[in-house]
């Protein structure tokens, strides 16, 4: 793979799962070097997007996603249900996120799918309001019809997040209440409406490397590729069926991010959930391997994110160093 001339590695939509596994499994430093080269060819390395995340409707979701604390099926999870937030409250938090340096404001609702009516109208107002603040707006609301995707586009939405979560073979082990085909249908509606597509998944749920590669294969099959690809490390939440999963090796996350970068060179690869358990150095390694977006802010949807103070320190460390003060010599 490495002996191919770099120019031959143009954007592809026909990766085989075997090719992706081979990229993923190569010696780690070669993988990081290859991903870093692809990254630098298409992106400015210092450009790391900060996306802020807010749960606008929390819990009591009818889906049975095994990883998710918001599923009504996981009765042991300690989580209070919160109805759809008021638009003004959401926009006040969006303003705060903008002032803290966020480039994108992402809003998530624990819905199986969008239903037309008062609540969807409120979400459309939230989207327009966020755009008026000068930020990119992204929502994740579950399944979507083509006409709902069109209405989101008209409201000014930048991107719609809908994850494949894992490869098609492992998917039924994780979710039974909606199919992989349902997910793909929503993603096609998003694309057809002219919205940017934000689609990725979770690693550390017990899937094989082949499953991870297979998810990347399906994502890279979209033409054009998804504009952003969130790679989440499972946050094992007590009370969910995956609560007992062993902690993911951070280097597995580095491999997954590097592979996503190589397979989808132009995408924003987002180092998403699970960052709070990574050292600063592991996060920098993920960025060197091609991650160029993070979730920024105290909480993800329901679980803690990396601390804002630590993130400020991370960005300070990534920035150019201030020249050392010349030591005064008498």
* Candidate list 183, 268, 270, 275, residue with the active-site label: 270
Does position 126 interact with ligand SAM (CB under 6 A)? The reply is no
Stretch that binds ligand DTB, among 20-28, 203-211, 284-292, 295-303 (CB under 6 A): 295-303
Is 198 among the catalytic positions? yes
Is 106 among the catalytic positions? yes
DSSP labels for 87-147?
HHHHHHHHHHHHHTT-SEEEEEE--SB--SSHHHHHHHHHHHHHHHTT-EEEEE-SB--HH
Tokens 């992204």 found at: 138
Q: How many beta carbons lie within 10 A of that of residue 70, not counting itself?
A: 24
- What is the spatial distance between Cα 75 and Cα 82, in angstroms, rounded to a whole number? 16
Pull the structure tokens for residue 27.
């010696």
Does position 277 interact with ligand DTB (CB under 6 A)? The reply is no
Stretch that binds ligand DTB, among 20-28, 122-130, 142-150, 228-236 (CB under 6 A): 228-236
Backbone φ and ψ of 5, nearest 5°: -60, 140
Does position 68 interact with ligand SF4 (CB under 6 A)? The reply is yes
Does position 186 interact with ligand SF4 (CB under 6 A)? The reply is no
Question: Which of 291, 289, 293, 292 minimizes the C-alpha distance to 26?
Answer: 289
- What is the spatial distance between Cα 191 and Cα 11, in angstroms, rounded to a whole number? 18
Helix (H, G, I), strand (E, B) or coil at 191: helix
Pull the structure tokens for residue 207.
């899937």
Is 81 among the catalytic positions? no
Residues within window 269-298 making contact with ligand SAM, judged by CB under 6 A: 273
Chosen from ligand SAM, ligand DTB, ligand SF4, none, partner binding at 71 (C-beta under 5 to 8 Å by type): ligand SF4
Active site residues: 61, 65, 68, 106, 138, 198, 270
Q: Name the residues that contact ligand SF4, by CB under 6 A.
A: 61, 63, 65, 68, 70-71, 110, 112, 142
Residues that bind ligand DTB (CB under 6 A): 53, 69, 108, 140, 161, 163, 200, 230, 232, 235, 272-273, 300-303
Q: Which residues bind ligand SAM (CB under 6 A)?
A: 61, 67-68, 70, 108, 110-111, 140, 142, 162-163, 165, 202, 232, 234-235, 237, 273, 301
């Amino acid at each position: 793979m490495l002996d191919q001339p770099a120019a031959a590695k143009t954007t592809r939509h026909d990766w085989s799962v075997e090719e992706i596994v081979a990229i993923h499994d190569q010696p780690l430093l070669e993988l990081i070097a290859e991903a870093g080269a692809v990254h630098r060819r298409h992106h400015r390395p210092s450009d790391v997007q900060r996306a802020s995340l807010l749960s606008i409707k929390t819990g009591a979701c009818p889906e049975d996603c095994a990883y998710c604390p918001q599923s009504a099926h996981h009765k042991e999870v300690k989580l209070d249900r919160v109805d759809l937030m008021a638009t003004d409250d959401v926009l006040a938090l969006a303003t705060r996120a903008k002032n803290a340096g966020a480039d994108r404001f992402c809003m998530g609702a624990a819905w199986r799918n969008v239903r037309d009516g008062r609540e969807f109208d409120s979400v459309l107002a939230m989207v327009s309001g966020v755009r008026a603040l000068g930020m990119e707006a992204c929502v994740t609301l579950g399944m979507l019809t083509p006409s709902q995707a069109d209405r989101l586009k008209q409201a000014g939405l930048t991107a719609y997040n809908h994850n494949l979560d894992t490869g098609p073979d492992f998917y039924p082990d994780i979710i039974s209440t909606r199919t992989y085909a349902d997910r793909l249908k929503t993603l096609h509606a998003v694309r057809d409406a002219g919205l940017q597509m934000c689609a990725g998944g979770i690693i550390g749920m017990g899937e094989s490397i082949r499953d991870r590669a297979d998810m990347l294969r399906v994502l890279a099959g979209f033409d054009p590729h998804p504009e952003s690809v969130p790679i989440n490390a499972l946050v094992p939440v007590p009370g969910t069926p995956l609560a007992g999963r062993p902690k993911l090796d951070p280097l597995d996350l580095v491999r997954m991010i590097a592979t996503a970068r190589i397979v989808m060179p132009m995408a924003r690869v987002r180092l998403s959930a699970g960052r709070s358990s990574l050292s600063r150095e592991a996060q920098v390694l993920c960025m060197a391997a091609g991650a160029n977006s993070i979730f920024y802010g105290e909480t993800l949807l329901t679980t803690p994110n990396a601390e804002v103070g630590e993130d400020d320190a991370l960005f300070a460390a990534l920035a150019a160093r201030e020249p050392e003060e010349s030591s005064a010599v008498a």
